[in-house]
Structure 1
Amino acid sequence: MMSTVLIVEDTPSERELLSHYLQESGYIVIEAVSAKEALDKVAEQKPDVVVTDVVMPGMSGFALCRALKKHPVTEDVPIIICTSKNQDIDRLWGMKQGADVYITKPFTRDQFIRAVQSVGG
């Protein structure tokens, strides 16, 4: 069965790239441009994995993690944070907010797909 991945990324070029990587690897992709939109889509479409950026207008990726992890319907959905914030403190904070995997840009297609596979996608 094909896994569905929700990409939450406000930059169109980044979103397109990640979407392309996933589709090439046989995943079904749902896209959201904001954390708020992501919350709606997760509830409706129940993706297998959520991939989110951190820095977005409105609600951050960290806040999205917290919201997903405290809701019974979405608490078990694995979250991958993809970000250019590469300090140890950011990674630590991300994991504390409920992220399962934290990968920093720039990363290769292989690193990205491996991260998705590692959480069962």
Structure 2
Amino acid sequence: MPADQPTVLVVEDEAAQREVLRYNLEAEGFRVASAGNGEEAMVLLDEENPDVIVLDWMLPNLSGIEVCRQIKTRPETRGVPVIMLSARSEEVDRVRGLETGADDYVVKPYSLRELMARVKAQLRRARPAAAGLRLEFEDIVLDAETHRVTRGGQELKLGPTEFRLLSTFMEKPGRVGSREQLLDRVWGRDIYVDTRTVDVHIGRLRKALGVHGGEDLLRTVRGAGYALG
């Protein structure tokens, strides 16, 4: 399973519907984690670090609205896009869902093709590199589709791990990524890698970015991790 494969968390209490969503999302190239209730969703949120959440409004015990509210009030998860699914089609319900923090609102019954398009649209906003887009920061340009990186117009040679590291930093410039977060995003949760390995690859990325000169844009934040810019 590729480390940079985007993850979608599906929160849906109907098992059959959950499997339909899983099948279609996996066919579109996503890794899928799924929960049958709100409590399980909150646990998986920390374990899976999803890129997009597809969340049903009507859940047992902890409602989808409450799950969404909790996601959006936590600093570490508030930036994860939430697509709310609901049989409630009234404008007042749609407004309530969006005011709770949902990034999109889809009324049941929905078209699977449309839902897949909406998931991809949210992914482009949250993780442009995973969507194959071009990223720019200062004089660095990263083309996720062709896997090319240039700085000041000159091409840089980056290994696959350094490329994924740079993609992660360029998606959220200025944001500090801890070694654990970088391990999850770049190497994947299923692979055991020592956190010191992150430091080694940061060193390689630093060297590659500075091969033609220019200031060091990678910042080491003592006790916290690394950031770009």
What's the TM-score bracket when you normalise by the shorter of the two chains? Answer: over 0.9
Query: C-alpha separation between the residues in 2 aligned to 1:87 and 1:3?
Result: 32
Query: C-alpha separation between the residues in 2 aligned to 1:2 and 1:109?
Result: 21
The Cα shift of 1:72 comes to 1.1
Query: C-alpha separation between the residues in 1 aligned to 2:100 and 2:24?
Result: 26
In the other structure, the counterpart of 2:26 is: 23
**In structure 2, what residue type is equivalent to 1:50?**
I
Residue 110 (1) aligns with residue 123 (2): no
Query: C-alpha separation between the residues in 2 aligned to 1:86 and 1:22?
Result: 24
Q: TM-score, normalised by structure 1?
A: 0.96
Query: C-alpha separation between the residues in 1 aligned to 2:81 and 2:67?
Result: 12
In the other structure, the counterpart of 1:75 is: 78
- Which of 28, 53, 56 is the equivalent residue of 2:56? 53
Query: C-alpha separation between the residues in 2 aligned to 1:102 and 1:59?
Result: 19
Query: C-alpha separation between the residues in 2 aligned to 1:120 and 1:16?
Result: 21
**In structure 2, what residue type is equivalent to 1:115?**
R
**In structure 2, what residue type is equivalent to 1:62?**
I
Q: Which runs of 5+ in 2 are unaligned?
A: 125-229
Aligned residue pairs, count: 121
Can you list the C-alpha shifts for 1:37-85, whole angstroms capped at 9, x where unaligned? 1111111210000111001110110000100001111111100001111
Query: C-alpha separation between the residues in 2 aligned to 1:112 and 1:24?
Result: 13
Can you list the C-alpha shifts for 1:70-104, whole angstroms capped at 9, x where unaligned? 11111111000011111111110000000000001
In the other structure, the counterpart of 2:128 is: none
In the other structure, the counterpart of 1:90 is: 93
Residue 33 (1) aligns with residue 36 (2): yes
Q: TM-score, normalised by structure 2?
A: 0.52
In the other structure, the counterpart of 1:120 is: 123
Query: C-alpha separation between the residues in 2 aligned to 1:117 and 1:90?
Result: 24
Query: C-alpha separation between the residues in 1 aligned to 2:47 and 2:15?
Result: 23
The answer to which structure, 1 or 2, has the higher relative contact order (CA under 8 A, 6+ apart) is 1
In the other structure, the counterpart of 2:187 is: none
Residue 3 (1) aligns with residue 13 (2): no
Query: C-alpha separation between the residues in 1 aligned to 2:27 and 2:47?
Result: 24
